[in-house]
Amino acid sequence: MTEIPPPRPESRYGRPRLSRVSRHRLVIVGSALVIAAGVAVAVIGYQRLATSDVTGSLAGYG
């Protein structure tokens, strides 16, 4: 049987890190959330700005 080593004192060694798989999943989920938020902002911006006609005006110094 394999023995589990005793936990290290947190005050001396800090909190244990996440496993490599957990960190990888966290990066994937975080990236997906950022992409989803960017797409949502783009869709809302397109809906608000694309419906109005563009009007130009000429300005000059004189």
pLDDT, position 44? 93
What is the per-residue pLDDT for 62? 64
- Give the range of the structural domain holding residue 41, as residue numbers without chain letter: 27-54
Domain membership of residue 5 (yes or no) is no
Q: Is residue 34 a part of any domain in this protein? A: yes
Asked if the structure places residue 48 within a domain, the reply is yes
Alpha-helix residue ranges (DSSP H) falling in 1-62: 10-13, 20-49
Per-residue pLDDT, 59: 81
Report yes or no on 62 lying in a domain: no
In a domain, 40, yes or no: yes
Rounded to two decimals, what is the model's pTM?
A: 0.56
Given the structure tokens 């911006």, which residue do they identify?
Answer: 45
Q: Tens of pLDDT along the chain (62 residues)?
A: 578 888 778 778 777 777 888 999 999 999 999 999 999 999 999 988 887 777 788 888 76
In a domain, 8, yes or no: no
Number of domains, the chain: 1
Q: Is residue 6 part of a domain?
A: no
Single-letter code of the amino acid located at 59? A
